Chain A
């Protein structure tokens, strides 16, 4: 089983629609959670951190369910510029204090005019 699993998509949705992505992780000791976006042939950029209480940043809402080891991202009123690959990322700290980010394979989103 992969450490971080995402539906690879692709998701093709019309402009203005709402789209939701899901992600599950296997390591219950994971401590921090993030959504990154990656444009084609570019580096990943942090979109937002994810907290158990849920957090919102404009049109983006992220949610974490630690009991189910499940992370979600909701994009409302989608824009053409939202077209990208969305990466679910989990941060763990080992017993030796080593930090590691584990990336999902990403979900490809294309917003259609």
Chain B
């Protein structure tokens, strides 16, 4: 159990376009999902916390109008990188915290990540 998927796994796009990344909890419900970004040779950095049915909470320095987050259901959160630029090229990873009984409610389960390259 506790599988999180992301789609797409990689994307190459032109500068100025918008890219949507999906994060799904496949076999459990998640009221809270998290979006991280990892640049080469750096640590994962939390971008925002996504709560089902409410607005996302963004970390300091992360532009909410540029990184749009929607958490419309207990199993799906989306991150849209609007007007992407080369500096947005990174590894985007989501995680989900389980509310299903039988799973550790403290543990975040990570998706496989999405590699974004903006040309």
Name A residues whose Cβ lies closer than 8 Å to a Cβ of B: 4, 32, 41-46, 87, 91, 98-106
Q: For the complex, give the distance between the alpha carbons of A106 and B113 in Å.
A: 17
Closest to B51 in A: A98
Q: Is the interface of A mostly helix, strand, loop or mixed?
A: strand
Is A101 touching B46 in the complex (CB atoms < 8 A)?
A: yes
Closest to B112 in A: A43
Is B97 touching A99 in the complex (CB atoms < 8 A)?
A: yes
Closest to A96 in B: B57
Is B110 touching A99 in the complex (CB atoms < 8 A)?
A: no
Q: For the complex, give the distance between the alpha carbons of A64 and B95 in Å.
A: 25
Which residues of chain B from 87 to 119 have a CB within 8 Å of any chain A CB? Answer: 91, 93, 95, 97, 106-108, 110-113, 115
Q: For the complex, give the distance between the alpha carbons of A46 and B111 in Å.
A: 12
